[in-house]
Chain A
Amino acid sequence: MKAYLTCLAGLLISIIVALSFGSSGISLLEVSQHLLLNMNGGAIASQTELSSIIMFEIRLPRILVAGITGASLAAAGVVSQGLFRNTLASPSILGTTSGGSLVAASMFFYGSAFDHWYTLPIGAFLGAATATYILFLISKRFFGLQIQSLLLAGFALNALLGACTSFVISLMLEDQQKAASVMHWMLGGFAARGMEHFYMVLPTFLIGIFLATNITHKLDILALGEEKAQTLNVNMKVLWHISIVCIALLVGGSVAVAGAIPFVGLVVPHMTRLVFGPKHRNLLWLSAINGASLILLMDLLARTLMAPKEIEVGVLISLFGAPFFIWLLLSYKEGVRN
């Protein structure tokens, strides 16, 4: 289909561009010429070895993590917008991101974030998953799994977790270094990410998107309304459960390795739907592809614009997010006038 070709082409270009550029100036061509370099274990002997190291230890893993994170967030966005029947829903509605942030902040405070590379990601993921689960339980217990109630409970939970996170951060403000570390993490980014992060987020992405693919047709029917969908043989309970697990996995995995990256889950599905249509089967995969492309390009800017400093990817995305909303507002006004 034309849409897939277009988006995949975009992704391919993004990958090539991302692989080709970096603050060290190592080019893809350079590296590919020495792809089968046989490396010995000692110190870096030559410029070629250096190029290979930069490419395969620093740049490529980072690109892989960035791509899969972008895809995860966009896919989660598609599921949330489908579940809530709202083109402005964001997967962070379910408290996943704020749950991960709270645990991450706490781990910085207690210092366990500095123990091993995996303590922070695992903690963040567990925080994300737990928050979503708690939300789910509360909605089920008190409001009977109605979508409206899930939405409101989500707002409440986000507010609560946000407040707790602010509190934990405030405890760290005296320790400037800890405070800085937390801020870096919360703005979201891919500095120092390696293949281990990629392997960590890969299963959550694969399972999440597999589950999401299975519910795409039902999400289409859900657009008619919950009750109508029910009469058309969509089991709302099952759809609920699967959607929430999906979102928890996709967002949780991404928060674990990249921190709290904003907007992607909202903007990418929204724009993809505008251009390529609302059918969820296509929307899911096209959004995932576009999400990957977007994050790859943003990350390229993040690591090259102000090198040797790193700009957090989350910051760049927020800078783009604001104009997006303004554009949305203007086009809405345009639509209303028409």
Chain B
Amino acid sequence: MAGDEILLEILKETHQLNRLVAISTLADNDNYSNIANEAKQIKGRAGRELESLINLRPDLIFLASYNQPAMIDRLRKSRITTFVLGGFNSFDQIKKNISDIGNIIGAHEAAQKIISNFDSTLAAFKKSAPAKKYSLLNFSTSSTLSGKNTTFDNIIEAAGATNLANKLKIEGWSKISVESLSTLNPDYIVAIGEANQKDQIFTQISQTPGYRHMQAVKNKKIILVDGRKLLAVSHHVLEATAQIQASLLEYEKKHK
């Protein structure tokens, strides 16, 4: 999805959307994709099946880093220029991907524009940060916490809060024991969901071991974020920060 979303954004900027010959099949899924609507404008779909991919005759393919080397080899041997994107576990990595993609497709300026928008949005978040630095923790039914070197960590920091998972010195995503989890007491819990699912999600959290005794649950301090934003691997990730910061500010106002 990283490639799809970034490419779409850059090519929209340069008014060259017709250069985008195909996007991944996941782009149509509006549970995960930030471009589900716009995807309708792009004709081709690409998956792991190589014949259909090559048949599109792309000049360039962007592959995610986690694809198997055999696939990359096959594409290169088929004389298709293939660029493997870097990771997307932090804002810096996302910005690098945007920059790389922009440079490769000859849209350096458009990419830089997106990146500077990104940075100025971050600066704006800093200015409007809540008065207090609240501690946040992600909700996971499998007690998998997002620690350092995850976009989640960056999202929380950018919103002007702290990621409580760092207290346990977690790197990346890590499943932790229920005991360790219950030693944490965040000010707010961040969960994926829509506003209309608030009650459902709250019930779920209050029944999940490790979380259910947290003060945040007792005080109903749950922040809901759109999953597509929270788990985004492109510039869309900042919308999650926006949602979180907005919720924090709202709660702050209420309890003044």
Q: How far apart sit A170 and B174, CA to CA, in the bound complex (Å)?
A: 11
- Is the CB of A335 closer than 8 A to any CB of chain B? no
From A22, A114, A194, B51 is in contact (CB under 8 Å) with A22
Residues of A near B57 (CB, < 8 A) are 44, 50
Q: Does B52 contact A (CB under 8 A)?
A: yes
B174-A54 in contact (CB<8A): no
Question: Do A44 and B79 form a contact, CB below 8 Å, given A174-B173, A192-B71, A193-B70?
Answer: yes
Residues of B near A273 (CB, < 8 A) are none
Q: How distant is the Cα of A119 from the Cα of B57 in the complex, in angstroms? A: 30
Given A22-B51, A309-B49, the answer on whether A174 and B174 have CB atoms closer than 8 Å is yes
B interface residues, how many (CB within 8 angstroms): 35
Could you mark each residue 126-167 of chain B with 1 if its beta carbon is under 8 Å from any beta carbon of chain A, else 0?
000000000000000010100000000000000000000000
B255 within 8 A of A: no
A309 to B59, CA, bound (A): 21
Q: How far is the CA of A310 from the CA of B48 in the complex (A)?
A: 6
Q: Is the CB of B51 within 8 A of A26?
A: yes
Chain A residues near B52: list those with CB within 8 A.
Answer: 23-24, 307-308
Known contacts A177-B66, A192-B68: A53-B78 contact under CB 8 Å: yes
Q: Which residues of B contact A177 (CB under 8 A)?
A: 64, 66
Contact A191 B71 (CB under 8 A): yes
Known: A115-B69, A117-B70. A174 touches B175 (CB 8 A): yes
Residues of A within 8 A of B51 (CB): 22-24, 26, 54, 58-59, 303, 307
Residue A85 is within 8 A (CB to CB) of chain B in the complex: no
Contact size class for A? 35 or more
CB distance from A122 to the nearest CB of B (A): 13
Taking CB atoms, residues of chain B closer than 8 Å to A30 are none
Whether the pair B172, A174 counts as a contact (CB closer than 8 A) is: yes
Q: Which of A53, A117, A120 contacts B79 (CB 8 A)?
A: A53
Q: How far is the CB of A210 from chain B (nearest CB, A)?
A: 28
| B74 partner residues in chain A, CB cutoff 8 A | 57-58, 192, 194
Closest to A57 in B: B78
8 Å CB interface, B53-95 against A = 53-55, 57, 59, 64-66, 68-71, 73-74, 77-81
Which A residues between 1 and 57 are near B, CB-CB below 8 angstroms?
A: 22-26, 41-44, 50, 53-54, 57
Q: Given A43-B79, A54-B54, A197-B70, answer yes or no on A310-B49 (Cβ-Cβ < 8 Å).
A: yes
The answer to whether A181 has its CB under 8 Å from any CB of chain B is yes
6 more CB-based (< 8 A) A-B contacts, given A114-B66, A196-B73, A307-B47? A44-B80, A58-B74, A173-B142, A178-B66, A191-B48, A194-B70
Residues of A within 8 A of B (CB): 22-26, 41-44, 50, 53-54, 57-59, 113-117, 119-120, 170, 173-175, 177-178, 180-181, 184, 191-194, 196-197, 303, 307-310
**Lowest 9 A-B CB distances belong to which pairs?**
A174-B173, A308-B47, A24-B55, A177-B66, A23-B52, A192-B71, A24-B51, A308-B52, A309-B47
